[in-house]
């Protein structure tokens, strides 16, 4: 299932991770390990944030994905199923048939 992982990093923890070099290493490893479809890095609500889109095979993958981020950055995490335009069309077609 296509998922969006949103990572929000508290300022002080992010500052520490930049100074000790762990921020780029952990983010690069996360993007690489997830074999991400896309990754975007933004300032959201005044905090360092990332949105990574990837295909998740099993719900049991969640701890391995998020625990390094919790431990490394004290990050806040959102993990959401997402659709692209083709998925939405297929879902709407199915919904219309069910009505």
Q: What percent of the chain is predicted at pLDDT more than 90?
A: 95
Determine the structural domain holding residue 64 and report its residue range.
Answer: 2-98
| Mean of the per-residue pLDDT values of the chain | 96
Q: How far apart are CA 53 and CA 55, in angstroms?
A: 7
Q: For 38-77, write each residue's pLDDT tens digit.
A: 999 999 999 999 999 999 999 999 999 999 999 999 999 9
Counting the structural domains of the chain, the total is 1
7-16, 23-32, 85-94: range with lowest mean pLDDT: 85-94
Tens-digit pLDDT profile for residues 29-39 = 999 999 999 99
CA 21 to chain centre: 20
Indicate which CATH number applies to the domain containing 46: 3.30.70.120
Provide the Cα torsion 73, 78, 79, 82; round to 10°.
-130
By CB atoms closer than 10 A (0-12, 13-18, 19+), residue 89 is exposed
Cβ atoms of 87 and 44 closer than 8 Å: no
**Is the pLDDT assigned to residue 99 strictly greater than 90?**
no
Torsion angles phi and psi, residue 8, rounded to 5: -120, 125
């Amino acid at each position: 299932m296509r998922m969006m992982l949103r990572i929000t990093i508290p300022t002080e923890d992010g500052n520490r991770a930049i100074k000790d070099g762990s921020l780029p290493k952990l983010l690069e490893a996360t993007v690489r390990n997830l074999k991400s479809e896309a990754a975007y890095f933004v300032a959201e609500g005044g905090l360092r944030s990332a949105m990574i889109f990837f295909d998740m095979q099993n719900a049991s993958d969640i701890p391995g994905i998020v625990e390094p981020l919790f431990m490394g950055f004290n990050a806040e995490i959102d993990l959401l199923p997402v659709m692209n335009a083709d998925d939405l069309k297929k879902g709407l077609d199915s919904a219309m048939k069910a009505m």
